[in-house]
Amino acid sequence: MCGICGIYMANSGPINRQLVTKMTELLIHRGPDGFGYYFNEKIGFGHRRLSIIDLEGGSQPISNEDESIHIIFNGEIYNFLELKNSLMERGHTFKTSSDTETIIHAYEEWGLDCLNLLNGIFAFALWDNNLKKLVLARDHLGIKPLYFINFQNKFLFASEIKSLLLDRDCPREVDLESLIDLFTFRYVPSPKTMFKDIRKLPPGHYLTISNETLHVERFWNKKPEIILGREKGSLVTEYQELLEDAVRLQLRSDVPIGLFLSSGIDSGALLSIMKNFVDYPIHTFTVGFENGEKTNELEGASYLANLFGAEHHDLIISTQDYVNYFDSFLWDIEEPLGNETAAAFYFLSKLAKDYVKVVLCGQGADEPWAGYPRHLGVKLSNYYSKLPKFFTEKFLNSLISIIPKNEKLKRGVGSLSEKDILKRFVKIYSFFNVKMKTKIFKDNVKENCPYEDFLNPDVIRPLFEDVDNLDPLNQMLYIDTRANLPDDLLMVTDKTAMANSIEARVPYLDYRIIEFIETLPSNLKLRGFTGKYLHKKALNKYVPSNVAYQKKKGFSNPINKWFISSMSSYVDEMLLSQNSAVRHYFNQDYISQILNSHRSGREEYYRHIFLLLSFELWHRKFIF
C-alpha cells in the first residue's frame, strides 16, 4: 500500500522535478517506509512506500529488464504468485519478489488485457517508453483511489487530490454541478469531484494518454446474468469456497494482519476463517461512542474475539475526540460527504497502527447482498407501483402525514409514487428532497443546475443500462456496488486508514465473489424481510447462529444527540456565522430552520446537518 503521483507533459518537458518531489512528500502518510522517483523528458513519477511484501527488494519505481517500462503502484495483487509462475513459464525474468513487478511482466505479455487477470486492490501508473504512452488503472471496485487533471499542456495524477493542488495553476473552484449531485447522492459520483476539472478514474477503468490524446475505457464490464434452478446447498458451498479463497489470498503478506471487528456476522466470519490460515495471534480492533450504548458493538465484538482467541483492543470515542478530529477528517477524505459514521474509521485505524500495518475488514457484503433498509424499500416499491393510481395517491399522502420523525422511512415512502425506476432510485438516496433543495440552494447554484428537479439520474444511468433487463432489486444492488460503495465507504476506509499508514483489505469484494453473487436471483438475497439471505446461511458455518441472525446494528454513532447538546454551539458557529462558507451557496435562514426543526424534535435532520458541516469544513480547508 503506497502513494503515487506524477506529471506527464504532452509536448515534452521540462518536467517540474521540484513539484513532483513536493507531491510525493505530501503522501508520506501513505508510505512512510521509503520513496522513489523516475524522470524522463515526458514523465515524472513519485512514489511513497508502505512495505508489506518483499520488504527489502520491493522499492519503486520498478522497471522491466531493458528499462523500457516503468511502474509506480498503490495496492496489492493478491494472486501475484500464480501470475508470476505463469509468466516465468513464458520466459519472463524477475528481479524482485514483489507483486508490483508482476504487473509489468503481465503488461508485456498481455497488454492492457492483463487488467482482467489481476485479483487485488490497485491504482497504478505505467510508462511505456516504446509507445511513449502513460497508462493509469484502478481496480475493479475502486478500492484504491486515483485522481487526475488535464490542463495547460500537462497531465497530473495522484492518489490524493491534495497532491494535485500543489500545482499553483491547478484550479481551486467548487464544481456546482457536483455540489448538486452531492446533495442528492450524499457523495460525488465518479468521475467528478467537488473540485472543478479534477476527476476520479472510475472503478474498473483504465486511462491512456499519448501526445495529446487522452482515452478512458472500462475493463471490468461483465454484465450479470441470473442463473435459475440451482440447488441452494451447492450455492452455499460455492460461496463458502470463494470466500475462504479470498481470505487466503488476502492474507498474503510479509507482516502480520489484523481485523476491524464488529459484533456482526461479516467481520466475525472473517475472524473465524483467518484462524485457519495464520500461525500468529490475530489482533482485532473495535470502537464505540460516548453515549452510544444502544448502537455500540463493543460487547459483541469482545465476545467474538474471545470466542476465536484473538487479542482484542477497543476504544470509546468521546464527543470532544470527534470534534477535535472532524476538521482534519475533511483534510483526510478531501471531499464533503453525507456519511455521519465515516470519521470512526479513522479512530479504528489509529487504534490499529500500534499493532499492525494491514487489516482485513468486513465492508462490501451489504451492497451486493441487499443488507440495507433501502433494498427492502425497492422490493416494496415495485409492488406499490402496480397498484391503481387513485388508491396510491390518497394512501401516500395520508401515510406521509402520519409517519413519525423518521427521515429514512419518509424518504422511502416519498419515493413510492415515482414511476421511473431510475429516478426512484435517486430519490431513495437523496435525504435532501426536491422541495428542500429548492429552498436551500441560492440562485447562483440554481442557475448552474442543468437537471430537472435537481435530480441527475444520468450519473448512474450507464450502470442502470447494464442491468436494464433485471428486476429492480438486482438493478439497485448492481448500482450500489459500483457507485455508492467506491465513492463513499471505500473511499473513506482507504483514506482514513492511510492517514494512519494502515492498509485495509476487503475480502467480500474479491471480484470473483461479486460476479458469483450477481448470478443469483433476488429471492436468494432478500427473502421476505430478511436481507443477505444466502450470505447468512453460508456464514453460519463460521459463527454461532445468535451472531449470524442477530438484528443488524450498523456502524452508527450518537451524533444525533450530539448535535442537540454538546455540539450545538459548534454547529451554529460553523453554519450560521457571517464567515461561514455555506452562505455563498446556501440560504442560511433555511439552514437555521433545519437546525430549529431538528432541535425541537419536529423533524430528524441530523444527516442534513452533517452534510452541511462536511461541506463547510471541506470548503475552509481547500477553497479558502
Question: What is d(CA 220, CA 203) in angstroms, rounded to the nearest whole number?
Answer: 8
240-275, pLDDT tens digit by residue?
A: 999 999 999 999 998 999 999 999 999 999 999 999
Sign of CA dihedral 170, 175, 179, 182: negative
Average pLDDT over residues 216-225: 96
Of the residues 2, 5, 170, 361, only one is catalytic, namely 2
Number of Cα atoms under 13 Å in the Cβ half of residue 47: 27
Active site residue 2: yes
| 303 or 402, higher pLDDT | 303
Confidence of residue 425 (pLDDT cuts 50, 70, 90): confident
505 beta partners: 360
What's phi and psi for 53, nearest 5 deg? -120, 140
Instruction: Please report the sign of the dihedral spanned by the C-alpha atoms of residue 207, residue 470, residue 487, residue 554.
Output: negative
Distance CA 73, CA 34 (A): 13
In the numeric block, the cell 440451482 is attached to 230
- pLDDT at 24 > cutoff 80: yes
Strand duo 358-360 + 503-505: pairing: parallel
The reply to whether the predicted model has a pTM over 0.85 is yes
pLDDT at 424: 85
On the question of pLDDT at 154 being above 80, the answer is yes
pLDDT surpassing 80 at residue 550: yes
**Predicted pLDDT at 249:** 97
List domains and CATH numbers for the chain.
Answer: 2-218 (3.60.20.10), 232-369+497-548 (3.40.50.620), 558-624 (no CATH)
**What would the pLDDT profile of 556-603 be if each residue is shown by its tens digit?**
677 888 888 888 999 999 999 999 999 999 999 999 999 999 999 888
DSSP for 3-36 reads: EEEEEEETT-----HHHHHHHHHTTGGG-BTEEE
Which three cell numbers mark 594?
A: 433545519
Q: Which of 591, 607, 246, 282 is nearest to 442 (CA)?
A: 591
The DSSP line for 557-586 is --HHHHHHTTTHHHHHHHHHSTT-GGGGTB
A 10 A CB-CB count for 19 gives 19
Confidence band, pLDDT 50/70/90 cuts, at residue 144: very high
611/404: higher pLDDT: 611
Q: Are 381 and 494 in contact (CB under 8 A)?
A: no
Q: What is the pLDDT of residue 54?
A: 60
pLDDT greater than 60 at residue 397: no
Tell me: the pLDDT tens digits for 294-341?
A: 678 899 999 999 999 999 999 999 888 988 898 899 999 999 999 888
Q: Could you tell me the three cell numbers for 499?
A: 492517514
Cβ-based neighbours of 355, under 8 Å, separated by 6 or more: 258, 283, 285, 313
Tell me the helices (H) and strands (E) count for the chain, helix number first.
Answer: 27, 19
H or E element in which residue 598 lies: helix 588-600
